Structure 1
Amino acid sequence: MSETRQRALVIGLGKSGIAVSEVLRERNWDLVATDEFPDRVADAIAHLATLGVPFVETDALRRTLRGDETAVLSPGVPPSARPVAIAWAAGCTVIGEVELAARFARAPILGITGTKGKSTTSALLAHLLRAAGKKTALGGNIGAPLIREVLPEGLDAIVAELSSFQLESIDRFHPRVAVLLNLSPDHLDRYSSMDEYASAKFRIVENAGAGDTLVANRDDERVWSFARNLGERITTIDFSLVDPAARIAVRGDEIVDTRAEHALAAISDVPLLGRHNLANALAALAAALAFGIDPSTFPAALRSFTGMAHRLQPVAEIAGVRYIDDSKATNPDAAIAALEAFAQPVVAIVGGRAKGTAFGTLGDTLARHARAVLAIGEAANEICAAVAGRVPCERQATMAKAVARARELARPGDVVLLSPACASFDMFRSAEHRGDEFSEAARALAGSTHA
């Protein structure tokens, strides 16, 4: 890609849009930026002005664009947004931040997508590669814009967590290794159907060809049906918790590569809670194998992995009760997996901004596992309705009040679990902020107990 005096329109001024603007200005591109909600991004507009990037209101875009710009779309901006339509009409090429990052990348990309488990699998895969001596970048939906992470010299690999939003706006992008973890209803406030949502995820292999590998979850019916229909244009490695015939499978207390008839690791080497995290480990191991990593490095690498913040993260223990932060569980299926990770009774803190998904199955799981439910946020009434008559459910106005009430309800040996099954933006800046509020409240209670 030539990097001299090219022109771009940056659409959306969140984290990705700012990173794109900074990187392209460093490379002497001529830029303009736009956002449909300028009041929400005033700080970003001011920052870009210091870089010489003017902000253009949506209504003025038609007069500004020449048609030779590359419009770079931030993942939070839907393709149906007005600035995107204006860019298309002006003759601009429209791509996403991930597509742009891939064009700058000089190392192979390993991409991970799915409804749940993306971040844990991505972080574990990067850890496996680094433990084998590979200089590895980690970015994308996991928190660091990919455009920044692909730039360092000397990289051996780039691990990218990819959301459906990011995959909507790819063009030529194709990872050397693609991982499809699972599919369940999510983001149905953005997509008209589950099929449309799945189609966005499946774009991860849209441009795949010889030399590329798909790692696919044999236990997920929709994922496996898609993978089987790809034919021979891409190598497929399947993994399974329940089918011993899968390429990467569980046999007894071991994780095995059935083609080599070789144990990759013991299940006890995986330091994460829950069977869903064991599935994530299988996916990461399969992707590392596909990338050519020596499997003899796997057991020690797994044991040294410390997990991730806000994903079944223990944050406190008070009077024999463990407090677990799973704030990144932003859909019902993720919360169900978290609940099923515990044999002990759970006092569950659930709720937030619903994403167009139903709570019936979550309600059934809460009825089996929860001693009590504390519902927060906009979805509190829906959550309580889902468990009505089966488990006590109380609405709480703040996280601090929910944690304090959980302490009153929990008994020694119980777990207090924040696993919201919803987005965070009704009450918090992010899922991370929500988890931090939970952790701070739990640690404050622990401190008052010991005082």
Structure 2
Amino acid sequence: MSKIVILGGGESGVGAALLAKAKGHEVFLSDKGVLEESYKEILQKNEIPFEEGQHNEEWILDADEVIKSPGIPDKVELIKKLKSLKKPIISEIEFAYRYTSAKIVAITGSNGKTTTTLLTYHLLKQAGLKVGLAGNIGESFAKQVIEDNFDYYVLELSSFQLDNCYDFKADVAILLNITPDHLDRYNYVFQNYIDSKFRILQNMTVADDFIFYQESNTLVEELNKKQFPVNYLPVSLVKEVSEGAFLKDGFLHVNYKGSDLTIALENLPLKGSHNAINAMSAMLASKSLGIDNEAIKRGLTTFQNAEHRLEPVADIKGVKYINDSKATNVDSVFYALGSFDDPIILIMGGVDKGNDYRQIEDLVREKVKALICMGKDNHKLIHFFENIVPLIFDVDSIEKAVQLSSDLSESGDVVLLSPACASFDLFKNYEDRGHQFKSNVLKLITD
């Protein structure tokens, strides 16, 4: 029996603690913050010792193995001490993987991974497979593995989760794109972030399928540098591919081992070219696991996208209000702007993560009639866009942003919350930001 310490008491940490206890390990969970009451109750009910508001180093440094929350960066002193003592530090994903023989579909990318994960899961489930949804979304992978009732798992994986995976292996991997993000966690070295994303390919073999978007320049440059023993399945918006998927003349073409599937772009439940990439990736993954064309088509007709991702909120006097709060980097905003042809009032801002706004400069100039910068410190946004957008405003609350957007808009406009930034200056998280946006928009109807 080994002594396992869990650092972080959120969904992944509590799930890992439950799995460790179920497998007979000595378990201790430590969180420097305050645990949610629901998680405390779960730990108490299962007689798992824990602490909150501190880290007892004597206990922690004595661990045989540490399972670290993806939210804890390596530069934290406690992590440095553990590394100096050569203590194994792994992620909940790595730990859970040890206890399942299910096939794994692993999905990552700077943008689009939540939509692609939800769609892939939906297609597999609607086709009748016993499939679980986990990773960066849904219930903890480790918690689900305790019973291990599934033959397949679809996992959304962030770079932070991949960083502490070593023996983990995907049977099908999807890498959607790589654009600068979370550079504050990677010493502001883009290559470190790239290397992290490519960990999704580790341990894969020629029997495994690798689905990737081949117009993601950074991704393809990295593939040109290294060879991986996998079956390459490119997804393209501009070029026909014999094996993989591509968009041509308004139709998605998905080709896998001699089986072709064609679907009109207009029949997708998701709009925008970025969602064509997501849909083709999910469809390829489904075909890789043996789902037939008719089942895929049926599944597509019943899919609904995630909350806070280009989510329609209301149409008020001909003005469409769109909640894209999950757009926490510039690349996401690029795709969001490309999804609309109407004049846009854009709400951006928050905690800048080293953003380069040049990627959206032309789209903003072409489509945005007014920019509302929402945050505690908007000087970078204002400085970059002040000569690009006709109207630019500086606000420090969601209430002011929504009211101002209402005052500025006219019938035919789109009010788009697509922040490009983290939310922690004014909100708990991007979900909180999205919910507050929606509630303030709905107040416009009653006011």
Deviates more, 1:281-290 or 1:142-151: 142-151
For residues 213-232 of structure 1, the aligned pairs below 5 Å read: 213-227=209-223, 231=227
SS of the residue corresponding to residue 222 of structure 1 reads: helix
Match of 1:18 among 3, 10, 14: 14
Q: Alpha carbons of 1:206 and 1:366: their partners in 2 closer, same or farther (altered >3 Å)?
A: same
Residues 135 and 156, structure 1, Cα contact 8 Å, conserved in 2: yes
Q: Secondary structure of the equivalent of 1:425?
A: coil
Cα distance 1:318–1:124, how it changes in 2: closer, same or farther (>3 A)?
same
Question: Which range is displaced more, 239-248 or 332-341?
Answer: 239-248
From the superposition, tell whether residues 442 and 45 of structure 1 become closer, same or farther in structure 2 (CA, over 3 Å).
closer
Aligned mates of 1:56, 1:428 — CA distance in 2: 23
In the alignment, the residues of structure 2 paired with residue 30 and residue 88 of structure 1 have an alpha-carbon distance, to the nearest angstrom, of: 21
Preserved contact between residue 308 and residue 325 of structure 2 (Cα < 8 Å): yes
Tell me the SS of whatever aligns to 2:117: helix
Runs of 4+ in 1 over 6 A off after TM superposition: 56-59
Spell out the pairing of 1:13-412 with structure 2 (5 A cutoff). 13-35=9-31, 38-41=32-35, 48=43, 51-55=47-51, 60-62=56-58, 65-66=61-62, 69-192=64-187, 193-227=189-223, 231=227, 233-245=229-241, 247-258=244-255, 260=258, 262-391=260-389, 392-412=391-411
What whole-Å deviation, never above 9, does each CA across 1:389-420 have from its counterpart, x for those lacking one?
A: 23111112211211111111111011111101
TM-score (normalizing by structure 1):
0.91
Task: Give the secondary structure class of the aligned counterpart of 2:425.
Answer: coil
User: Could you tell me how far apart the structure 2 residues matched to 1:196 and 1:368 are?
Assistant: 34
**Superimposed CA distance per residue, residues 175-210 of structure 1 (whole angstroms, 9 cap, x where no aligned partner):** 110001001110011112111100000000111124
Query: Residue 412 of structure 1 aligns to a residue in which SS?
Result: coil
| Secondary structure, aligned partner of 2:314 | strand
Displacement after TM superposition at 1:13 (Å) = 2.6
CA distance in 2, matches of 1:59, 1:159: 33
Q: 1:174·1:207 contact (CA, 8 Å) conserved in 2? A: yes
Distance 1:395 1:15 in 2: 36
Q: What's the C-alpha RMSD, in Å, of the aligned pairs?
A: 2.3
Q: Which runs of 5+ in 2 are unaligned?
A: none
User: What SS does the aligned partner of 1:189 have?
Assistant: helix
Q: CA deviation at 1:154?
A: 3.4
Residue range with higher mean Cα deviation, 124-133 or 26-35: 26-35
Question: 77-86 or 423-432, which moves further after superposition?
Answer: 77-86
Mapped partners of 1:269, 1:172: distance in 2: 40
Task: Give the 3-state SS of the residue equivalent to 2:412 in structure 1.
Answer: coil
- Which residue pairs with 2:435 in the alignment? 436
After TM superposition, the structure 1 stretch with the greater mean CA deviation from structure 2, 294-303 or 119-128, is 294-303
Question: C-alpha displacement at 1:60, in angstroms?
Answer: 4.5
Distance 1:342 1:45 in 2: 41
CA–CA distance in 1 between the matches of 2:300 and 2:55? Answer: 52
Aligned equivalents of 1:196 and 1:267: distance in 2? 36
Q: State the distance in 2 between where 1:155 and 1:338 align.
A: 35
Deviations 1:339-397 (A, max 9, x none): 11100001111111111222233344322211111111145222222210231111122
Letter in 1 for 2:142: I
> Any gaps of 5 or more consecutive residues in structure 1?
none
Are 1:419 and 2:414 an aligned pair? no
Are the equivalent residues in 2 in contact too, given 1:58–1:82 (CA < 8 A)?
no
Conserved 8 A contact 2:376-2:396: no
Secondary structure at the aligned position of 2:354 is classed as coil
Distance 1:98 1:379, change over 3 A: farther
State which drifts further: 300-309 or 343-352.
300-309
Between the aligned partners of 1:99 and 1:359, the Cα distance in structure 2 is 35
Letter in 2 for 1:55: E
The percentage of aligned residue pairs carrying the same residue is 32
How far apart are the structure 2 equivalents of 1:215 and 1:362?
26
| C-alpha distance 212-240 of structure 1, shift in aligned 2 (>3 A) | same
> Does the Cα contact within 8 Å between 2:234 and 2:241 map onto a contact in 1?
no
> What is the rounded CA distance, in whole Å, between the counterparts of 1:195 and 1:44 in structure 2?
39
Contact between 2:386 and 2:392, CA under 8 Å: does it hold in 1? yes
| Per-residue deviation, residues 97-142 of structure 1 (Å, max 9, x unmatched) | 1101211223111000010000000000001111211121111112
Measure the CA separation in 1 of the matches of 2:146 and 2:36: 28
Q: Deviations along 1:244-290, whole A, 9 cap, x unmatched?
A: 13521112232113463733322122111211111111111111122
How many residues align? The count is 441
